[in-house]
Amino acid sequence: MVGQLADYISALATQLVKNKVETHVVTYHDSMTDAVEEASGVKVARVANPVRTHIGVLTWDLTLNQEVERAVANIYYGANKQIDLINVYDWHFIPAAVTLKNALNIPFVYSVESLENQRSPNSNTPYNMSIKSIEWLGFYEAEKVSAKSEWMRDEVVRIYSVPEEKIHIVSPSSDTWIKDVLGLYKTAAGGLKSK
Protein backbone atom coordinates (compact mmCIF):
# COMPACT_ATOMS: atom_id res chain seq x y z
CA MET A 1 0.00 0.00 0.00
CA VAL A 2 1.30 3.40 -0.98
CA GLY A 3 -1.67 5.69 -0.42
CA GLN A 4 -5.39 5.33 0.23
CA LEU A 5 -6.11 3.94 -3.20
CA ALA A 6 -5.44 0.31 -2.27
CA ASP A 7 -8.20 0.30 0.38
CA TYR A 8 -10.60 2.05 -1.94
CA ILE A 9 -10.05 -0.43 -4.81
CA SER A 10 -10.39 -3.35 -2.40
CA ALA A 11 -13.74 -2.02 -1.15
CA LEU A 12 -14.92 -1.20 -4.66
CA ALA A 13 -13.97 -4.59 -6.11
CA THR A 14 -15.71 -6.39 -3.27
CA GLN A 15 -18.89 -4.37 -3.79
CA LEU A 16 -18.77 -5.01 -7.54
CA VAL A 17 -18.58 -8.77 -7.01
CA LYS A 18 -21.54 -8.52 -4.61
CA ASN A 19 -23.38 -6.79 -7.42
CA LYS A 20 -22.59 -9.70 -9.76
CA VAL A 21 -19.94 -7.91 -11.77
CA GLU A 22 -17.03 -10.23 -12.56
CA THR A 23 -14.08 -8.18 -11.35
CA HIS A 24 -10.37 -8.53 -12.04
CA VAL A 25 -7.86 -6.24 -10.38
CA VAL A 26 -4.48 -5.86 -12.07
CA THR A 27 -1.88 -4.27 -9.86
CA TYR A 28 1.79 -4.13 -8.96
CA HIS A 29 3.73 -6.17 -6.49
CA ASP A 30 7.45 -6.67 -6.53
CA SER A 31 7.47 -10.33 -5.56
CA MET A 32 3.95 -11.66 -4.91
CA THR A 33 3.10 -12.02 -8.60
CA ASP A 34 0.60 -14.20 -10.49
CA ALA A 35 -3.19 -14.41 -10.39
CA VAL A 36 -5.21 -15.32 -7.28
CA GLU A 37 -8.86 -15.34 -6.30
CA GLU A 38 -9.54 -13.75 -2.95
CA ALA A 39 -12.20 -14.86 -0.49
CA SER A 40 -14.41 -11.99 -1.64
CA GLY A 41 -14.47 -13.44 -5.16
CA VAL A 42 -12.28 -10.67 -6.55
CA LYS A 43 -9.60 -11.98 -8.90
CA VAL A 44 -6.28 -10.22 -8.47
CA ALA A 45 -3.30 -10.37 -10.85
CA ARG A 46 -0.09 -8.83 -9.55
CA VAL A 47 2.78 -8.06 -11.86
CA ALA A 48 6.39 -7.07 -11.20
CA ASN A 49 8.68 -5.06 -13.42
CA PRO A 50 11.04 -7.23 -15.49
CA VAL A 51 13.47 -4.30 -15.63
CA ARG A 52 14.97 -4.00 -12.16
CA THR A 53 17.20 -0.94 -12.53
CA HIS A 54 15.61 2.45 -13.21
CA ILE A 55 16.54 6.08 -13.48
CA GLY A 56 13.18 7.44 -12.36
CA VAL A 57 9.51 6.80 -11.74
CA LEU A 58 8.71 7.33 -15.41
CA THR A 59 10.96 4.59 -16.78
CA TRP A 60 9.75 2.25 -14.03
CA ASP A 61 6.15 3.01 -14.90
CA LEU A 62 6.48 2.86 -18.68
CA THR A 63 8.13 -0.58 -18.59
CA LEU A 64 5.70 -1.96 -15.98
CA ASN A 65 2.82 -1.15 -18.30
CA GLN A 66 3.78 -3.96 -20.69
CA GLU A 67 3.39 -6.44 -17.85
CA VAL A 68 -0.01 -4.93 -17.09
CA GLU A 69 -0.93 -5.41 -20.75
CA ARG A 70 0.27 -9.01 -20.60
CA ALA A 71 -1.82 -9.70 -17.47
CA VAL A 72 -4.94 -8.08 -18.95
CA ALA A 73 -4.44 -9.92 -22.27
CA ASN A 74 -4.26 -13.21 -20.35
CA ILE A 75 -7.55 -12.38 -18.61
CA TYR A 76 -9.11 -11.26 -21.90
CA TYR A 77 -8.20 -14.38 -23.88
CA GLY A 78 -8.91 -16.61 -20.87
CA ALA A 79 -12.41 -15.10 -20.64
CA ASN A 80 -13.12 -15.77 -24.30
CA LYS A 81 -12.53 -12.10 -25.12
CA GLN A 82 -15.34 -11.03 -22.79
CA ILE A 83 -14.12 -7.92 -21.00
CA ASP A 84 -16.59 -5.10 -21.22
CA LEU A 85 -14.71 -2.31 -19.54
CA ILE A 86 -11.41 -1.26 -18.00
CA ASN A 87 -11.31 1.19 -15.10
CA VAL A 88 -7.90 2.79 -14.68
CA TYR A 89 -6.85 4.85 -11.64
CA ASP A 90 -4.58 7.83 -12.13
CA TRP A 91 -1.83 8.15 -14.73
CA HIS A 92 0.33 5.13 -13.94
CA PHE A 93 -1.48 2.56 -16.06
CA ILE A 94 -2.93 4.92 -18.67
CA PRO A 95 -0.43 3.63 -21.30
CA ALA A 96 -1.75 0.07 -20.89
CA ALA A 97 -5.38 1.23 -20.92
CA VAL A 98 -4.79 3.18 -24.14
CA THR A 99 -3.09 0.25 -25.90
CA LEU A 100 -5.75 -2.23 -24.75
CA LYS A 101 -8.49 0.07 -25.96
CA ASN A 102 -6.94 0.53 -29.38
CA ALA A 103 -5.90 -3.11 -29.77
CA LEU A 104 -8.83 -5.00 -28.26
CA ASN A 105 -11.63 -2.42 -28.46
CA ILE A 106 -12.20 -2.37 -24.72
CA PRO A 107 -13.32 1.10 -23.59
CA PHE A 108 -11.93 2.54 -20.38
CA VAL A 109 -12.96 4.83 -17.58
CA TYR A 110 -10.21 7.08 -16.20
CA SER A 111 -10.74 7.65 -12.47
CA VAL A 112 -8.91 10.72 -11.29
CA GLU A 113 -7.51 10.59 -7.79
CA SER A 114 -5.16 13.54 -8.21
CA LEU A 115 -3.44 15.46 -10.98
CA GLU A 116 0.23 16.21 -11.58
CA ASN A 117 -0.67 19.88 -11.57
CA GLN A 118 -1.83 19.53 -7.96
CA ARG A 119 0.92 17.17 -6.80
CA SER A 120 3.69 19.41 -8.15
CA PRO A 121 2.26 22.94 -8.40
CA ASN A 122 3.95 25.26 -10.86
CA SER A 123 6.39 22.58 -11.95
CA ASN A 124 6.95 22.32 -15.65
CA THR A 125 10.15 20.32 -15.79
CA PRO A 126 10.34 17.67 -18.56
CA TYR A 127 9.52 15.08 -15.87
CA ASN A 128 6.29 16.84 -14.85
CA MET A 129 5.39 17.57 -18.46
CA SER A 130 5.79 13.91 -19.38
CA ILE A 131 3.34 12.87 -16.65
CA LYS A 132 0.95 15.63 -17.69
CA SER A 133 1.10 14.41 -21.27
CA ILE A 134 0.16 10.90 -20.09
CA GLU A 135 -2.75 12.37 -18.10
CA TRP A 136 -3.82 14.29 -21.19
CA LEU A 137 -3.67 11.12 -23.29
CA GLY A 138 -5.83 9.37 -20.70
CA PHE A 139 -8.50 12.07 -20.78
CA TYR A 140 -8.45 12.13 -24.57
CA GLU A 141 -8.73 8.36 -25.03
CA ALA A 142 -11.08 7.59 -22.10
CA GLU A 143 -14.70 6.80 -22.79
CA LYS A 144 -15.64 8.47 -19.53
CA VAL A 145 -13.83 10.15 -16.65
CA SER A 146 -14.79 9.78 -13.03
CA ALA A 147 -14.01 12.39 -10.38
CA LYS A 148 -14.74 12.12 -6.67
CA SER A 149 -15.96 15.70 -6.27
CA GLU A 150 -17.28 18.67 -8.19
CA TRP A 151 -14.04 20.45 -7.41
CA MET A 152 -11.98 17.70 -9.08
CA ARG A 153 -14.33 17.70 -12.06
CA ASP A 154 -13.81 21.46 -12.43
CA GLU A 155 -10.04 21.01 -12.16
CA VAL A 156 -10.06 18.46 -14.99
CA VAL A 157 -12.13 20.82 -17.10
CA ARG A 158 -9.93 23.80 -16.23
CA ILE A 159 -6.54 22.14 -16.75
CA TYR A 160 -7.23 19.75 -19.61
CA SER A 161 -10.33 21.27 -21.26
CA VAL A 162 -12.14 17.94 -21.01
CA PRO A 163 -15.84 18.35 -21.99
CA GLU A 164 -17.86 18.45 -18.79
CA GLU A 165 -20.34 15.85 -20.02
CA LYS A 166 -17.50 13.31 -20.26
CA ILE A 167 -16.90 13.53 -16.51
CA HIS A 168 -19.08 11.74 -13.96
CA ILE A 169 -18.93 12.48 -10.28
CA VAL A 170 -18.71 9.34 -8.18
CA SER A 171 -18.34 10.21 -4.52
CA PRO A 172 -17.33 7.36 -2.18
CA SER A 173 -19.14 9.07 0.68
CA SER A 174 -22.42 9.20 -1.17
CA ASP A 175 -25.25 6.78 -0.26
CA THR A 176 -25.64 5.97 -3.91
CA TRP A 177 -21.91 5.34 -4.43
CA ILE A 178 -21.97 1.79 -5.85
CA LYS A 179 -25.10 2.57 -7.83
CA ASP A 180 -23.31 5.55 -9.34
CA VAL A 181 -20.29 3.37 -10.21
CA LEU A 182 -22.49 0.76 -11.88
CA GLY A 183 -24.37 3.45 -13.79
CA LEU A 184 -21.11 4.94 -15.05
CA TYR A 185 -19.79 1.52 -16.07
CA LYS A 186 -22.95 0.74 -17.99
CA THR A 187 -22.76 4.03 -19.89
CA ALA A 188 -19.08 3.62 -20.68
CA ALA A 189 -19.15 -0.08 -21.59
CA GLY A 190 -21.47 0.48 -24.51
CA GLY A 191 -19.15 3.19 -25.80
CA LEU A 192 -16.75 1.72 -28.31
CA LYS A 193 -19.09 -0.99 -29.53
CA SER A 194 -21.79 1.46 -30.44
CA LYS A 195 -19.36 3.56 -32.49
Partner 1 sequence: MKNKLSVMMFTWEFPPRVIGGISPHVFFLSKSLAKTGVKVHVVTCDFPGAPAHEVIDGVDVYRVDSYKNPAPDFATWVYLMNLNMQKEAAVIVNKLANKIDVFHAHDWLVATAGIGLKHVFRKPLLVTMHSTEIGRRDGLHTDTEKMIHETEAWLTYEAWKVICCSDYMVSHVRWAFGLPEDKLVMIPNGVNLSVYDGIENDLASFRAKYALPEEKIVLYVGRLVYEKGIHVLINAVSKVLEKINAKFIIVGSGYMKEQLLNIVRSMRLEHKVLFMGFVDDETLLRLQKCADVSVVPSLFEPFGIVALEAMAAKSPVVVSDTGGLSEIIDHDVTGFKAYPNNPESLAWGINKILLDENYKNYVRENAYRKVQEKYDWQKIAQQTKAIYKAVLGEFSKSFWA
> Whole-angstrom distance between the N-terminal and C-terminal Cα of the chain?
38
- Contact code string over 29-68 relative to partner 1, x by CB under 8 A: ---------------------xxxxxxx-xx--xx-xx--
Of residues 65 through 84, those in contact with partner 1 by CB under 8 A are 65-66, 69-70, 72-74, 77
CB of 103 to partner 1, least distance (A): 4
Residue placing its CB nearer to partner 1 in the complex, 86 or 170: 86
Choose the binding region for partner 1 from 18-26, 126-134, 144-152, 171-179 (rule: CB under 8 A).
126-134
| Number of other CB atoms surrounding residue 169 within 10 Å | 16
**Are 122 and 165 in contact, with CB atoms under 8 Å apart?**
no
Cα separation, 178 vs 122, whole angstroms:
35
**Are 81 and 165 in contact, with CB atoms under 8 Å apart?**
no
Sign of CA pseudo-dihedral 18, 101, 159, 91? positive
CB of 125 to partner 1, least distance (A): 7
Q: What is the largest CA-CA distance in the chain?
A: 46
Interaction site with partner 1 (CB under 8 A): 50-56, 58-59, 62-63, 65-66, 69-70, 72-74, 77, 95-96, 98-100, 102-105, 125-127, 129-130, 133-134, 137
